[in-house]
Structure 1
């Protein structure tokens, strides 16, 4: 059985620990100071704990700027150096287009359509229940 605990991050960014995975759920716009604090906190948590992966759920984010793109890239690079992986899940098409237009390639950052799709990319066996009103997608 996997234990889940929530870490209190300044700026009210929900971060849930599911075993060796951190699930970071971004909702709306983040202030630069909050994004910077989140980056530091994720780095400290990954280095101090047995964290093997980080999932950053962007499904609640409408737009990103160059600073947020850099934060995502930095988190991916930092976790990779600390022997963990980062997967960004739930990116909206407008967010992807903005990142491309800004010239941010985000090397080393893996993506998934949903959080449920991200967990297997990290080798996690944690089960995520489907959202209400949304059917499960069948895999071939």
Structure 2
């Protein structure tokens, strides 16, 4: 199993998913992100899913679970690059991403996290 790389950009972690996701990949990503947030003190997580063609109900729920886990470690999550077919599939499955924010691309995702960081009490 190949792990999804997680890059640190300032106080943001970027996980760019470039492979078709299997259940075990998403579970490993959740664990890896929790460890990286704890180790780095990151305040933001971006999940770039621009290369993801297909999602099922488990993977859709795991995106929301990853965001919830990140919030427990004081990090906001933004999902970027969602393709229209993926969005339609999530709606057809009746899934919501909870409090997960979305953005069209990485630049807009970083802007959302920067804005959230400015609003956070210090």
With normalisation by structure 1, the TM-score equals 0.78
| Matched length | 115
Which position in structure 2 is the counterpart of 1:119? 110
* Bigger fraction of residues in helix: 2
Unpaired runs of 5+ in structure 1? 1-9, 125-140
The answer to whether the aligner puts 1:58 opposite 2:49 as a matched pair is yes
Q: How much is the aligned-residue C-alpha RMSD, in angstroms?
A: 1.3
Cα deviation for residue 33 of structure 1 reads 1.2
Which position in structure 2 is the counterpart of 1:72? 63
In terms of Rg, which structure is larger?
Answer: 1
* Bigger fraction of residues in strand: 1
Cα deviation for residue 13 of structure 1 reads 1.5
Cα deviation for residue 47 of structure 1 reads 2.0
With normalisation by structure 2, the TM-score equals 0.88
Contact 2:3 2:29 in 1 (8 A): no
Unpaired runs of 5+ in structure 2? 116-122
Answer 1 or 2: higher relative contact order, Cα 8 Å, separation at least 6.
Answer: 2
